Amino acid sequence: MTPVQAVIAKELRGYFVSPIVYVVGAVFLLIFGFLSYLYVKFTGAQVIQLMQMQGGIAPVNLNDLVFRNLFASMRFVLLIILPILTMRLFAEERKLRTFEFLMTSPIGINDIVAGKFVSALLIYLGLLGITGLVPAVLMLFSDFDWGPVLTGYLGMALLGALFLAVGLFASALTENQIVAAFVGFGILLTFWLISGLGALLGDTTTGHIVSYVSFMEHYDHLVNGLIDTSDLVYFASGLALMLFLTHQVVDSARWK
């Protein structure tokens, strides 16, 4: 087992011993399940309405009526939940004075940051995997196009990874977990609101730049079934930038 794998294993163990992963997991799955139920019920009601109006069997598009709405709604849930998942990663190390131990162990800061990020990502992907039950069950009762569903899941995975990296960065800034969570919310909410500013600026160069900076339009493209290289580049570069900033913050903490 390499040192990075050792960090991942230790963090995963830490997650499952603490109540955070159970609470975050339960809330995430409950909201996902509840939203799925609401959108399916809403779709059912719409179909009945259409059948009454048109007579005969009305076509049901689950991609538009259920999955697109579901993935769009989950953005806000991820924004609230993921900083809670990452808040302890560095803040706790600093509070319990194990940070000095990690920094004096023969392991690079890159490896520490990567190990902590991957552990949080594995937990998140595990939760995301469980939500796969929803489309699997719906598949038994209705036909839908798996393409947009899979791109939606890709969007949720990429958006979640970016949010986790932001949360990790926030956790490296402070030794207080609550402060770390709020800083994470704050950064993510700012990037959410930036998209509104982009819309306000309209079809101008500044407007395009501001809109590009926000994660909203990139996520929306994937939710709509569109895989664009620029969106993938956005998520990859955003992720790399946040992990780099985390590395810098961790490194600078040694100088204080």
Mention every residue, 6+ apart, whose C-beta is less than 8 A from residue 226: 151
Among 17, 53, 140, 200, binds other proteins (CB under 8 A): 17
* HSE-up of residue 90 (Cα within 13 Å, Cβ side): 29
| Smallest distance, other proteins to C-beta of residue 105, A | 5
CA distance 152 to 232: 13
Pull the structure tokens for residue 207: 């407007």
**156 touches 47 (CB < 8 A):** no
Among 34, 42, 76, 101, binds other proteins (CB under 8 A): 101
List % helix, strand, coil for the chain (3-state, nearest 5): 85, 0, 15
The residue among 11 and 217 lying less far from other proteins, judged by its C-beta, is: 11
Q: 71, 84, 72, 81: which is closest to 135 by C-alpha? A: 71
Q: With CB under 8 A as the contact rule, which of the stretches 12-20, 27-35, 38-46, 238-246 interacts with other proteins?
A: 12-20
Does position 236 bind other proteins by CB under 8 A? Answer: no
Q: With CB under 8 A as the contact rule, which of the stretches 51-59, 62-70, 97-105, 181-189 interacts with other proteins?
A: 97-105
Q: At what angle do helices 216-223 and 205-213 cross, to 10 degrees?
A: 70
The residue among 115 and 148 lying less far from other proteins, judged by its C-beta, is: 115
Query: x/- binding map, residues 184-223, to other proteins, per CB under 8 A?
Result: ----------------------------------------
**101 touches 7 (CB < 8 A):** no
| Smallest distance, other proteins to C-beta of residue 52, A | 58
Among 18, 190, 204, 206, binds other proteins (CB under 8 A): 18
**147 touches 37 (CB < 8 A):** no
Cβ count near 1 (within 10 Å): 7
Q: With CB under 8 A as the contact rule, which of the stretches 46-54, 92-100, 122-130, 226-234 interacts with other proteins?
A: 92-100
The residue among 221 and 247 lying less far from other proteins, judged by its C-beta, is: 247
| Smallest distance, other proteins to C-beta of residue 9, A | 8
Place of tokens 């196009």: 145
Pull the structure tokens for residue 24: 């975050």
Among 12, 77, 107, 241, binds other proteins (CB under 8 A): 107
CA distance 217 to 227: 12
Among 49, 105, 204, 237, binds other proteins (CB under 8 A): 105
CA distance 132 to 136: 6
| Smallest distance, other proteins to C-beta of residue 94, A | 12
Binding residues for other proteins (CB under 8 A): 1-3, 5-7, 9-10, 13-14, 17-18, 96-98, 100-101, 103-108, 254-255
